[in-house]
Structure 1
Amino acid sequence: MHASRIALVLHPRNDVTDVAERAVAFAHEHGVEVLVRAADAGRVSGAVPVSTDELATECDGVLSLGGDGTMLGALRLVAERPVPVLGVHLGNLGFLVEVTPADLDTALPRLISGDFTEEPHSALRIVQGERRSVAFNDLALARHPGRGTVDATLSVNGLSFGYYRCDALVVATPAGSSAYSYAAGGPLVSPSVDGIVVTPSAPMSGISRPLVLAGADVLALDLTPRSGTLAVEVDGIGRADVAPGDRLQVSVQPDAGRVVRLDPDLHARRSRVKLSLLDLPLLPEQLRELLPEDVREKLEARDN
């Protein structure tokens, strides 16, 4: 692969001008055109403003400037035509993003030349009446205060599976299992697993434990007459509410996203540290393994 057009996806609120203009300048020096959504045209100079649809269909790769939320948005943007997406970390915890602004000068040549490995990500395809949505982390149904709770039946591949009565219900991909689903008490699932996690939050009756289903399964959630009007969130972004009688159908699209990894082993080690911050404890010797080699050598010399 040699990219001739790179799309920039910018954090929706934070000022990323410095990093964006560095990326544009580097791309131009190497004969690569940079596309940006027309809505962001005023935030970076030198990039070609295009419609969202044109950006998604014309780019050879995507550079996401922000945190995991920005990265998820970039992946959703090109889910119909997956191209490599590289995340530059300008956010908070950052499980998906890999490089920092300091790494940009070495990361961009590799993105342009195709010198990287790809980490495939599955996505949820969500059908809600006439609406279609894509989620790389999760779909959540949540109660509005004072407007009732989640009351929904679950069917899997057309067979009745049971019902939920809870404050929120989260359907997550394996990669998304470390987000809302985990906070609600769901398991951490390896991204290499082909599956779906369904986790109720604050269950009152019905299915009260997380479920892990096959990636080939098709789920349907039907809101009963007792359900409240619920907020629908896709990767943390609010969508149209659902009401009693509504149905949501969820299926998995394998390999819907292509995340760029420049150093997969280093990224995996960093992710283990971040997961430990989410109360996944590591032993002291395991934490030491995650330190840079020169730091480990100094500690070993000191201990000996």
Structure 2
Amino acid sequence: MRIEKNFEQLDNVKNVGIVLRPSSPELKSTYLKIKELFENEKINVFLEENSAQMISDNGYSLEELCLKVDFLISVGGDGTLLSVVRKSFNFEKPVLGINLGTLGFLTDICMEQLPKFIEDLKNNIYKIDNRMLIEGSVNLNKFVAFNDIVISRKSISSMIKIKAKIDGKAFNTYYGDGVIISTPTGSTAYNLSVGGPIVYPLTKAFIVTPVAPHSLTQRPLVMPADFEIEFKIVDTQGAVVIVDGQDIYEVEQNQSIKINIANKKAKMLHRIQRNYFEVLNEKLRWGN
């Protein structure tokens, strides 16, 4: 089996920051267990302020946390990890996902695996993936997506028309429910559910996938991430832009959304044993 090589390592881990899934005060016991495991290995644990308020503890703003710690831990599911990555990527801190959800394409380990991971961490037995992010802008709003940017119709009673350009040159007109612009990491999210391709997460590419297109000739498109993609809303009702399923922006008729590769990457901290194709096999139940 091919072993992924990784030469990026953390220097002498002393401090970690933890962000808990919002609106989940029941995670207090989980946090205390994580804290105990790290402190037993002489690693300090700091809690993000919103998570701290949720469980009646003391915490730090995410910015303060990123300046204090060697890496971040997201405790919850993929949605929690998405939020942590998007808010912290400018600080270039690796993020480890502890999965307390169900599917968990992004979150790497469960609580039962944490003691072994901490042991491996101290022995430099782990890997750090650098994942592509995409930047978007509409009007004066700029945003970053880890999974995808979705351009969707405002009304469920009508379709939306979107004209697309690559590097300033027209290449397509989409007519249907909308368009998904996905990173390779996000290819297993909404993109997959509407028939888009799965793309290896360390690939440098955009995936553009129409949602319920009116024409049967419209197909998903994978392209190098060096291009700038522009989508102009033709529909009189305008559209909504949804970033990683978490932030929403309204777009009016004749306004454009421009999308580029971000100038920084998200750093994902993983067990050395993690194999992407085994994750696909497990989560998608291939072969069952």
> TM-score over 0.5 for the alignment?
yes
- Normalised by the length of structure 1, the TM-score is 0.82
Q: Structure 1 residues 251-260 or 150-159, which shifts more?
A: 251-260
Q: How does 1:224-263 map to 2 (within 5 A)?
A: 224=234, 226-253=235-262, 256-263=265-272
Query: What is the deviation of 1:155?
Result: 0.9
**SS of residue matched to 1:191:** coil
**SS of residue matched to 2:85:** helix
158, 173, 187: which one aligns with 1:163: 173
**Partner residue in 1 for 2:6:** none
Query: What is the deviation of 1:35?
Result: 2.7
What are structure 1's unaligned runs of at least 5 residues? 288-304
44, 57, 60: which one aligns with 2:67: 57
Task: Say if 2:202 is the partner of 1:181.
Answer: no
**SS of residue matched to 1:16:** helix
Task: Say if 2:61 is the partner of 1:37.
Answer: no
Query: What is the deviation of 1:61?
Result: 0.1
Q: Structure 1 residues 140-149 or 121-130, which shifts more?
A: 140-149
Q: Which whole-Å CA distance do the structure 2 matches of 1:195 and 1:266 have between them?
A: 20
Query: What is the deviation of 1:161?
Result: 1.3
Q: How does 1:1-150 map to 2 (within 5 A)?
A: 1-14=11-24, 15-44=26-55, 48-111=58-121, 114-146=124-156, 148-150=158-160
* Identity over aligned pairs, percent: 25
* Structure 2 counterpart of 1:6, one-letter code: V
Q: Which whole-Å CA distance do the structure 2 matches of 1:108 and 1:214 have between them?
A: 37
Q: Which whole-Å CA distance do the structure 2 matches of 1:10 and 1:227 have between them?
A: 41
What are structure 2's unaligned runs of at least 5 residues? 1-10
Number of residue-to-residue matches in the alignment? 277
* Structure 2 counterpart of 1:42, one-letter code: Q
Query: What is the deviation of 1:147?
Result: 6.8
Q: Which whole-Å CA distance do the structure 1 matches of 2:68 and 2:231 have between them?
A: 36
**SS of residue matched to 2:241:** strand
The question of whether the paired residues in 1 share the 8 Å contact of 2:53 and 2:59 is answered with no
Instruction: Report runs of 4+ in structure 1 exceeding 6 Å deviation.
Output: none
**Partner residue in 1 for 2:7:** none
The verdict on how the C-alpha distance between 1:265 and 1:167 changes in structure 2, with shifts beyond 3 A counting, is same
